[in-house]
Chains A and B, each alone.
Chain A
Amino acid sequence: MNRRQLLLTAAGVAASLALPGLASAQNTIKVGILHSLSGTMAISETTLKDTILMMIDEQNKKGGLLGKKLEAVVVDPASDWPLFAEKATQLLEKDKVSVVFGCWTSVSRKSVLPVFEKNNGLLFYPVQYEGEESSKNVIYTGAAPNQQAIPAVDYLMKDLGVKRWVLEGTDYVYPRTTNKILEAYLLSKGVPAADISINYTPFGHSDWQTRVAAIKRFGATGKKTAVVSTINGDANVPFYKELGNQKVSAEDIPVVAFSVGEEELSGLDAKPLVGHLAAWNYFQSITTPANTAFINTWKMYIKNAKRTTNDPMEAHYVGFNLWVKAVQKAGSADVEKVLAALPGLETPNLTGGIAKMLPNHHITKPVYIGEVRADGQFDIVWKTPGTVPGDAWSDFLPTSKPIEADWVALKCGNYNTTTKVCSGQNYK
């Protein structure tokens, strides 16, 4: 994103705020972008804002949508969870946007959920998350646990013969829920509880000496050991550095990460990570014509040939295209009509497959396992044969096993199939 565009957008926002009811406001469809541009999450979220701006730009070059131009409304929730709800209210009530693309962390999503349900807005959420949720007003284009964590564990178990598991996470809702699901899954596969070790460290943990030494000890029993990492954000770099320094090689104890992608690797010296694994639904190194075109457009748009693409960007790409198709199908950008049009829609993803919108507001995605290369890209070592449908409520947790989400037949995101009750959303 160059600064001039930001200024122009900002000026546009200011103008539309200052002069409501001008002709220009009616001839555009407003698209809200709710990503942090400052604070700790700016590292990840700024890229997503730029992705949506690029998609809007591309759509406008094609003549816009329903004969109208798309107009971006960018707000900055500054990595501050309550501010997310405030900015969402502003987008929905004041700017009256037709759709919002936004949020990264689960906390921010949970914070804006009541706002979107109250105002009947529409949010496209592009990041892999812990599941256990399906809102009428949210489309989850990122991976649910069964589209990332479970296949990754399957790969380690079947292809690498892993017998002992360290589930290492940052202490917040996504790792805790994911690890609960994974633990239940591993136990169901006959892994003894003594062979599973679960640990949490605080956000931004930088002194990994004790933990890595403990992982080494845990892995020294002769059984093949792997680490499943839900370590978030900045804590990853010191973790991998410590692994490298203590000579824990990927051949002995591989680490499979759910939050380390191309963007994160571009900010660090990737050598200590070589051979470690990541599970995603998209990798930049996958060569398909669509992906090559997307990467080129992105590099042109951002005017930097070194910029990388990553999984949440692809989720936004798919989400944006689904929304465009739904608007075209409904003949209107009205939220109710778009929501009715969305389920069943299909759009090609960037890896040569088709993303289908499911009734539970999740999409179908392929799962890839990549090994880190020294240049910060990934070598694909495994992929699912087809796409995997997203499961909102995990089948491996006893509490969520009987729960179904279906916004077409049941009109409910939280339907208990044993008691036959739709309990609505429950925010924790």
Chain B
Amino acid sequence: MLVLVALCLALSSGITVFAQTPDETLRSTLGTLREASFPDKEATVATIADSGHPGAPFILTAFLEDRLYSRDSDLAIVIVKSGETETFDLVDPLTQADAGNVPKDGFTKIGTNNRLRRVLRTTVARFTLASPDAAVRLSAVQNMLRSLDDQTMDLLRARAAIETDAAVKDEIEIGLAMSSLDSGDAAAKLVAIDRLSDRVTTDVRNRLAAFLEKNPDGSFVEADDKVRAAAASAVAHIDNVRSFYSGVETLFFGLSLGSVLVLVAIGLAITFGVMGVINMAHGELMMLGAYTTYVTQLLMPDSIGLSILVSIPAAFVVSGLAGVILERTVIRFLYGRPLETLLATYGVSLILQQTVRSVFSANNRAVETPAWLSGTWQINQALAITNNRLYIVLFTMLVFALLLAVLKRTRLGLDIRAVAQNRSMARAMGIRTQRVDAMTFGLGSGIAGMAGVALSQLTNVGPNLGQSYIIDSFMVVVFGGVGNLWGTFIGGMSMGVVNKLLEPYAGAVLAKIVVLVALILFIQRRPRGLFPQQGRSAEGH
């Protein structure tokens, strides 16, 4: 087989010696790809790019997107329109003409690896530099900036002269300035440093910091004093800006961790805080919410983006119902007996976990992240905020506001507060306390379900999901002050921020321990938490 391939290769390259048409040269170059090693493929990519053949950009794009295949029967290279369809729609690499629809077997993909894809991306960028779409040009320039050489510099210079879009032009000028840092001329360097000093990215910083380094013999790498001074002040400026934004970033990390803590604790703040039920199955109610997201995605596979929005109310209903059933069948017989409640709900949590294992299997389930939830919001060159975290912070705020509104503005909220404050008096006033109990528990559980939807976007959806959050949620409620929603909110947020402030210095393991120890000491001093409940209602039910 190998001999045969070698023979074919030899033959095809033999032909090119005689027939010099660009088409055949390109075809024979392509032919070598099938058996090539990754370094060989890299060289071939350069050959194709330099061939000047009109089909080159098309071929390289297909290569980058894993759509370049070799036909096993005649070793010809073909492009498929999509690798994910049932059958292959073939396209001729040179003419871009359709070459029929064929079954998938009988083709070998021309594989790429990370390094090769990087090379391909910068190579393809050279061709897309002339695209009419400014956004495409911008990403092309950004890709080219990742590896600057003389050839790309020439292309950028040529483009800079005719570029009309301000953003693209700006990006190109950065690239040109970066390259003139390498020139011998001190004046050109000073201009370039001046141009780059308001660009607060790490690559610029590192490039400028290189001017300040010393050679092994003690002399400076950069001989010119003025250039060094300019570089030093530019680096100091960039460091200043970046350290400010990294503080902002840490604060955001803290708030986002805090909002996850608030979200998982807020349902518990109702069931434990308001009703005084120690519900060890709280985590499993979140797990049910996460699985509801999974099932919703199964039911609507074509609109993943919408499925998350649908699953929020769905999870509320599923977990809320589970909570009501739990309250009616188990917890209501155990009011006022915290130890028994704890044990019984722990048992329920095990039952729920095992049920999920039996229904969905012990393996984690794949919940997809919709496009609008992934990616980052690039605020400036030094600060980017991830979308999913941002949405979860907003979601937490929304849930919290809604919950407050329900408790303060609705009839149900009034009943809940009345029963929590004085059960017998409430009953005397004609409130059906048993029904209110069930509704309150259902409300808390439903919120746990909604938290589960958010968690499905952050972590594994599996039978153990609840266990990993139950401790945290109790911690937040106790820290914030039992029975006080604002306490839960502020407690969760501050625990998140403190944790994230400590993490860069102490490491994740130690940060968590420090927070726990601090919490224990705090509870020793103030057993009722951050915001203790005032008055007689605080004495229990």
Contact = CB atoms under 8 A, between A and B. Distances in A.
A269 B368 CA distance: 6
B509 interface: yes
Contacts of B249: 213
Contacts of B503: 210
A12 interface: no
B34 interface: no
B464 A209 contact: no
A247 B375 contact: yes
A423 B246 CA distance: 52
Interface in B240-274: 246, 249-250, 253, 256-257, 260
B227 to A, nearest CB: 19
Interface string B456-470: 001110101000100
B500 A234 contact: no
A159 B386 CA distance: 32
Contacts of A46: 362
A263 B114 contact: no
Interface stretch (A183-191, A195-203, A383-391): A195-203
A271 B118 CA distance: 18
A204 B470 CA distance: 13
B114 A209 contact: no
B508 interface: yes
B202 interface: yes
Nearest to A268: B366
Interface string A77-104: 0000000000000000000000000000
A237 B507 contact: no
B114 A238 contact: no
A214 B464 CA distance: 28
Interface residues of B, number: 50
B468 to A, nearest CB: 5
Contacts of A398: none
Contacts of B250: 210
Interface string A17-53: 0000000000000000000001010110010000000
Interface stretch (A58-66, A216-224, A345-353): A216-224
Interface in B339-358: 354, 357
A247 B376 CA distance: 7
Contact of A245 (B118, B375, B460): B375
A411 B371 CA distance: 60
B468 A206 contact: yes
A161 B206 CA distance: 19
Interface in A339-385: 371, 379, 381
B282 interface: no
Contacts of A246: 376, 384, 386
A336 interface: no
Contact of A42 (B117, B362, B509): B362
Contact of B260 (A207, A214, A245, A251): A207
Residue among B206, B246, B357, B386 with most chain A CB within 10 A: B386
Contact of B464 (A222, A234, A272): A234
A14 B386 CA distance: 54
Contacts of A271: 368
Given A234-B460, A245-B386, A214 B504 contact: yes
Contacts of A277: 114
A201 B508 contact: yes
Contacts of B117: 251, 275
A393 to B, nearest CB: 28
B522 interface: no
A161 B464 CA distance: 39
Given A42-B362, A267-B363, A200 B462 contact: no
Contacts of A251: 114-115, 117-118, 121
A241 B206 contact: no
A288 B156 CA distance: 48
B500 A210 contact: yes
Question: Chain B interface secondary structure, helix, strand, loop or mixed?
Answer: helix
A38 B354 CA distance: 8
A211 B508 contact: yes
A199 B506 CA distance: 11
Contacts of B202: 217, 220-221
Contacts of A40: 464
B264 to A, nearest CB: 11
A225 to B, nearest CB: 12
A254 interface: yes
Nearest to A46: B362
Given A199-B507, A209-B386, A266 B512 contact: no
A375 to B, nearest CB: 9
Contacts of B189: none
B155 to A, nearest CB: 21
Interface in B360-401: 362-369, 374-376, 384, 386-389
B114 A267 contact: no
A316 to B, nearest CB: 18
A237 B508 contact: no
B111 A202 contact: no
A205 interface: yes
Contact of B206 (A214, A222, A238): A222
A15 interface: no
Interface of B: 38, 111, 113-115, 117-118, 121, 202-203, 206-207, 246, 249-250, 253, 256-257, 260, 354, 357, 362-369, 374-376, 384, 386-389, 458-460, 462, 464, 468, 500, 503-504, 507-509, 512
List of 8 A-B pairs having minimum Cβ-Cβ separation, nearest first: A267-B364, A220-B202, A245-B386, A201-B508, A209-B253, A251-B118, A206-B459, A42-B362
Given A200-B509, A237-B459, 10 more contacts: A159-B38, A161-B115, A220-B202, A234-B459, A234-B464, A234-B468, A237-B364, A251-B118, A371-B114, A381-B38
Interface of A: 38, 40, 42-43, 46, 159-161, 171, 199-202, 204-207, 209-211, 213-214, 217, 220-222, 234, 237-238, 241-242, 244-247, 250-252, 254, 263, 266-272, 275, 277, 371, 379, 381
17 contacts: A42-B362, A43-B364, A43-B462, A161-B115, A200-B507, A209-B257, A210-B250, A211-B508, A213-B249, A220-B202, A238-B458, A241-B458, A245-B374, A246-B386, A269-B368, A269-B369, A277-B114
